[in-house]
Structures are given as structure tokens and as C-alpha cells.
Amino acid sequence: MAFINELQAVGTKSKCANYFLWTAFGFGVVKLTTFVLRFLSLIFDMFLLPPTDYSKYGAGQGSYCVITGASDGIGKEFARQMAAKKFNLLLVSRTLSKLEALKEELQEKFGVTVRVLAFDVSLDDNANYASLQKVCNELPVTVLINNVGQSHSIPVPFLETEEKELRDIITINNTATLLITQSVASSIVRHASKGNTRGLILTMGSFGGLVPTPLLATYSGSKSFLQNWSSALAGELKPANVDVEIVLSYLVTSAMSKIKRSSVMIPNPQNFVKSTLSSVGRRSGAQERFANLTPYWSHALYHFIIEETLGVYSKLVNSINYGFHSSIRQRAIRKAQRMAKSQ
């Protein structure tokens, strides 16, 4: 009898083991299947699907695109490429002379109407937002590109961050971006609700917001805020026929990044903006995120690999990020010391 009971116990354990193995196998199949589907989606987004058709946003139909931070770098390139798509433009930036020069260039080259509005977003002046809203209420605005932004001058420990730099980053990246969007979006919603065109709001995000970034803590937090805000706004404005997306990028050659030479991982503004505008409506590397777009191919692959392996919030990724920016900080300090000695 004891022998029979022992056999029954062994059989029960065997059944439990089989159930466990089959369950684990099932989860493995599901996990592998979803991984393959996300990877195939990534390949289609980056290399196989046709570029975004901007006629649905009013290209060539007299519609306006508002671009902030438009006088230099990525913002200037957005202006050129949106003008090439036959959008009229309202360009917003701090330096009027640069805006006027760009206005003449774009009107002469592309035959579009360009209006400019100069103000310093770091001042957070309500009169500036009121002026922007007044101009937009008079125009058929269908697209807003929130490009204005600021980072730290060099990587810096949070406890050593100067108050002005901290406040400027939060004001420019967050407060100003939100109030500019409120000022412009009502016009976009009004025109999109007529049903002839869709609306589009693009906001420049960053890998600094995707991955917590030591020594750029304030900037990293400000861009993380924009990710969640933009995704929430996407849900709110979808019924109003307005597409809202945050654009995630790694490094791009620009005045903000202080990088002058492009590479496989660091495109120039022209190539980055081209990939962004071609990919609107898709996720590319941001396969797991609603209303997020990682448009440049090497950035998309990098994003996908991080998400599918270690994860953006892992301790190892945090440590690697710290070491990378610590090295940048040390090089910047040594450069400043050399320049000080040479003067």
C-alpha cells in the first residue's frame, strides 16, 4: 500500500511538473511571438513603409505650420523641410534678425508665406503667449512643431546645478512648451474639426527623457515629463482629429549637443528631420509606447535593443549613462581650463 501511495505521489509531482513546463513553454512562445512581431514592425516602420503623406495635414492647401526654436539647428531644418512640403510657416524664436533672414530664404526658394514672431521663451511672459495665440487665431494652422528646448551647458551634478540653469530648463522645456501648445492648439483643433484636414502636434523629446540620465538630472526629468504629457494629450486630442506625437532622439549635431561631426549614431539636422517627417504616424524604435516616435534608424535600433534587453530603468543602464556623462564632464572641464590658461 505504501508503495502504491508513493507511486501516486510521484505521478502527482510529475503532472505538476508537466503543467509547469507547459505553462512556461506557453509563456515563452507568447514572449517570442510578441518580440518577433515588434521587431518586424520596427523593420517595416524604418525601411519598408512609404513616407508620411502631408496632404492630410493641409500641405499645399494654404495651411500653416508653427515651429518654435526655428532660427537654428533642428528647428531651422524643420522650417526648410516643411516649406519644401508647401506649408506656410509661422516661425517663433528669440532672435528677430535670424528669423527675418530665414523668412527671406524660404519665401524666395519655396514660394510660401512666412511670418515670424520673436520672443524669449525663458522669460515666460504671458504677453508673448497672448501674441502667439492672436496670430494663430487669424491663420489656418494645422501643424505645431515644439522644437524649442534647453539642456545643461555641460553635464553637472544636480546639487551643483546653478539655480538659473535649473529654472531656465524647466521654464523652456516644460512651462513654455505647454503654454505655447495651448496658444496654438485651439486653432489646430478648430481647423481639424472641419474634417478637411487632420491636425498634427510634434514635440521634441530625448533619450535623456527615455532613460534616466545622471549628471543631466534636471534636463532628463524635464524631457520625461514631456513624454507623459504628450502621450496624455494624444489621447485627449485624437477624437478632435489631431495627431500628437513625441519625437525621441539620441544625439544630433547641434549647438545644444555641442557635437559638430556626424556619425552612424549622430546624424546631422537635415537627415534627422527628414527621417522624422517621413516617419510621423509610426513608432519605429518606440514599439512599446503609444504616440512615441524614434525616427532615425540607428536611434530606433538602439532604443529597441535597450527596451528588449536591460530595460530603460535598469541599474546597469543608469550606471553606464553616469560613466558616459561623467567622462563628457571631465573633458569639458579640462577644455575650459586650457582655454582659461591660453587667455
Q: Which runs of E-coded beta strand occur in the chain?
A: 64-68, 88-93, 114-118, 141-146, 199-204, 242-247, 292-293
Phi-psi region of 34 (alpha: psi -120 to 50; beta: other; left: phi over 0): alpha
CA distances from 201 to 167, 178, 229, 294, 309 (A): 25, 12, 12, 15, 31
Residue 249: count other Cβ atoms within 10 Å of its Cβ.
25
Residue among 54, 57, 129, 219 flagged as catalytic: 219
DSSP secondary structure letter of residue 261 = S
- Burial status of residue 214 (CB atoms within 10 A of its CB: 0-12, 13-18, 19 or more): middle
* Residues 65, 106 contacting (CB under 8 angstroms): no
Cell numbers given for 301: 535600433
User: What is the rounded distance in angstroms from the CA atom of residue 202 to the CA atom of residue 84?
Assistant: 18
User: What is the rounded distance in angstroms from the CA atom of residue 248 to the CA atom of residue 293?
Assistant: 6
Instruction: Mark whether 219 is an active-site residue.
Output: yes
Is 206 part of any known ligand binding site?
A: yes
User: What is the rounded distance in angstroms from the CA atom of residue 279 to the CA atom of residue 283?
Assistant: 8
Taking the alpha carbons of 166, 91, 180, 126 in that order, is the dihedral positive or negative? Answer: positive
- Burial status of residue 289 (CB atoms within 10 A of its CB: 0-12, 13-18, 19 or more): middle
User: What is the rounded distance in angstroms from the CA atom of residue 308 to the CA atom of residue 112?
Assistant: 44
* Residues 59, 87 contacting (CB under 8 angstroms): yes
Instruction: Please give the positions annotated as active site.
Output: 219
Binding residues are 206
Residue stretches of the annotated binding site for substrate: 206
